[in-house]
Amino acid sequence: MLKILVIALLIPLLSACSSNRSAGVVYHESFDFSQVKSYSLYNRNSPFTDSQNLIDIRRNAIEIAIERSMGNQKFNYTVPEQADVIVTYYLLNGIPGEYDKYNDVVRFCVQCLRANTWQTTKQYSNVTKGSLILDLVDPKQKRSVWRSAYQLDIDVKDNSAELNEKIQQAVSLMLAQYPQRKSQPN
C-alpha cells in the first residue's frame, strides 16, 4: 500500500519536471534582430488567418500570450504596416495540407534549414501534432526569419484556464529564445 502511495505521489512530480522542456529555435543569421523595436500581428482578415482553422478562443489565447511576452521583452506593438516584425503562430493539428499552407504564407522552407544561413540555439526538430509554432516574419521580405516550436500537450480534459496557462508558458519559453539584442548606448 505504501509503495502505491509513493508511486502515486511521484508520477505528478516527475511529469511536472518533464513539462519544463525548452523550445526549439531556428533563425536566419542575415536578419538584424538588434534593430527590432516593434512588432505586430496580422489582421484577422489577412491570408495568414486563412492558413489555419482555429476557434476564436484559442486564437485569442495565443495572441494575448504573444502580446504579454513581447511586452515583457520591451517590444512595442504597432500596426502591421509599421512593425519591424510580424509575429505569426500555428497550432499543428494534423490536417493534411494546412501546415504546408501556413509555411507558404510565412515563406518558411523546412528543407532550407540545412542551409548554413539558418542558425539554431536550441535543438529544432520536426514538429508533431499538438506543437505550437511561432514565426517572426520580416515585413519587408514577407518571409519568416525566426521560428520556434514547442509541444503544448493539450488534453481534451483541459479547462480554459489550464489551456491558457499552457499557451502562456509555451509562448513565454519560445520568445525567451529571441536572439539577444545588443545594448543600446546611452
Residue 92, all three cell numbers:
499543428
The predicted model gives 113-123 an average pLDDT of 60
Sequence spans of domains, the chain: 22-175
Give the range among 15-29, 93-107, 153-167 with minimum mean pLDDT.
15-29
CB 130 within 8 A of CB 154: yes
CATH of 22-175, one of 2.60.40, 1.10.1760, 3.30.160, 3.90.320: 3.30.160
What pLDDT was estimated at residue 43?
A: 86
Give 155's pLDDT tier (boundaries 50, 70, 90).
Answer: confident
Rounded-to-integer distance, Cα 143 and Cα 145, Å: 6
The model's confidence at residue 121, banded by pLDDT at 50, 70 and 90, is low
pLDDT band for 2, please (50, 70, 90 cuts). Answer: very low
Amino acid at 48: F
